[in-house]
Structure 1
Amino acid sequence: MFGINDIPKFFLAFFLVLPVISFLHEAGHVFFAWLMGGKNIRVTVGTGDVLFRLGMLEVRQYYFWYGLCSYDNLKRNQRFPNILIFSGGVLFNALSAMAVVYLVEQEMIRPGLLTYQFTYFSLYYIFFALLPMPYPDGSYSDGKYILDLLRNRPIAEHIYRIQWDQEKAQWQVLDHDKTVVEVFQEEDKALARAHELAQANRPSRLLHTRNGQEVEVFNYPRVPL
């Protein structure tokens, strides 16, 4: 039964163990995203205002709650690479938990509160990450994305384009319905605006018409949690 003496254990789990497990989870996503050629990789631990940034790591005010990673422009953006990326979080959680259990069994580290909490909450994290369910904000769990990918269900992508209108002598930014969103006189400004729209509406692809052919210049995949 939970008692007064268990309160410090609760704070230890909530403010130390869970953030470490969350970081390992995001590291798993990041590892496979990097392996698949992802660029602009960033790991966010926590929510709220940014406390500090260190390389690709961003730690926020409420560091003990929530986490995500983001990356752009996968070179291998097909079904199997995405399955690996979305599976990476639970894989790293499982491997780290197994490593702790192994070290305890080999008497290389002593069993205690930290080892117990680490293995327990790693399994907790794995269960809820793999549970195929939607979240209130409209995103999905890793398990939901993996299941959809395994079933080969198409993932709706937004496609944005920039193209030169010869008659009007202007660069046009088109949305996924091929409706003109904005026009520019300079190609760089049109491209920058198209990047903003594509990044804000993941998953998306950015196409550029060159020599009469559409070429993908960037892609913004879904963000694993």
Structure 2
Amino acid sequence: MFGINDLPKFLFAFFLVLPIISFVHEAGHVFFAWLMGGKNIRVTVGSGRVLFQVGILEVRQYYFWYGLCTFDNLKRNQRFAHILIFAGGSLFNGLAAVAVVYLIENEVLEAGILTYQFTYFSLYYVFFALLPMPYPDGNYSDGKVIIDLIRNKAPVKTYRVQWNEEKKQWCVLDHDRKLIEAFEEEEQALSRAHEVAKQDRPSRLVSTKSGKETEVQNYPKVPL
């Protein structure tokens, strides 16, 4: 039974162990995103205002709650690559838990509250990350995204920057080739296209010149 004497242990887990597990989880996403050629990789631990930033790591005020990994322009932009990236967080959590148990059994680590909570909450993370469900904010769990990828139900929208000879303008077109906005300069059109594509992940941005389409950048869905 949970008693008043267990409260410090709970706080210890909540404010120290969980952020470490969250970092391990995001590290799994980052590893496979890097392996698949992802660019602009960033890791956010926590929510709220930014406390500090070191390299690709950003730690926010409520460091014990939430986390995500963002990246752009995968070189290996196939379905299997995305599955690996979204499964990577749970894989790292599972491997970390197994490693801790192994080290305890071989008396390298001493069994205690820290190792127990780390193992327990690592498996907790794995379960809820892979449980296929939508979140209230509109995001999906890693498991839900993986299932959609396997079923090929994860639509990737394509945004286009295309020269309109009649209007003498660069047009930004949505996935249905409907006009979003038109500009006189190509750089302005590309900037606007990057903005809308980035906000509608997963998406691709292509440039159409002389009837030929060239991918400028792709924006994969963000793993949590």
TM-score higher than 0.5:
yes
Provide the TM-score with structure 2 as the length reference: 0.98
Q: CA deviation at 1:115?
A: 0.2
1:128 is matched with 128
**4+ aligned runs moved over 6 Å, structure 1:** none
Distance 1:210 1:26 in 2: 38
Q: CA deviation at 1:150?
A: 2.4
> Identity of aligned pairs, percent?
71
Counting only pairs closer than 5 Å after superposition, residues 206-221 of structure 1 correspond to structure 2 as 206-221=205-220
- C-alpha separation in 2, matches of 1:84 and 1:210: 34
Compare 168-177 and 91-100 and name the one that shifted more: 168-177
Q: Distance in 2 between matches of 1:85 and 1:181?
A: 31
- 1: CA distance, partners of 2:155 / 2:82: 14
| 8 Å contact kept, 2:145–2:154 | no
Cα offsets for 1:77-107 (capped at 9, x unmatched): 1111111111100000011111111110000
- Deviation, structure 1 residue 157: 1.8
Is 1:139–2:139 an aligned residue pair? yes
Q: TM-score, normalised by structure 1?
A: 0.97
User: What is the CA–CA distance in structure 2 between the aligned matches of 1:158 and 1:53, rounded to whole Å?
Assistant: 32
**TM-aligned CA deviation for residue 166 of structure 1:** 1.4
Count of residues in Structure 1 that have an aligned counterpart in Structure 2: 224
C-alpha deviation, 1:209, in angstroms: 0.6
SS at match of 1:67: strand
Q: Please, which runs of 5 or more residues in structure 2 have no aligned partner?
A: none
CA distance in 2, matches of 1:27, 1:221: 17
Give runs of aligned pairs for residues 17-96 of structure 1, distance below 5 A. 17-96=17-96
How far is 1:181 from its partner? 1.1
The amino acid across from 1:166 in the alignment is E
* Deviation of 1:167 (Å): 1.7
Q: 1:154-193 to 2 correspondence within 5 Å?
A: 154-193=153-192
Partner SS state of residue 74, structure 2: coil
Shift of 1:30: 0.6
Matching residue's letter, 1:189:
Q
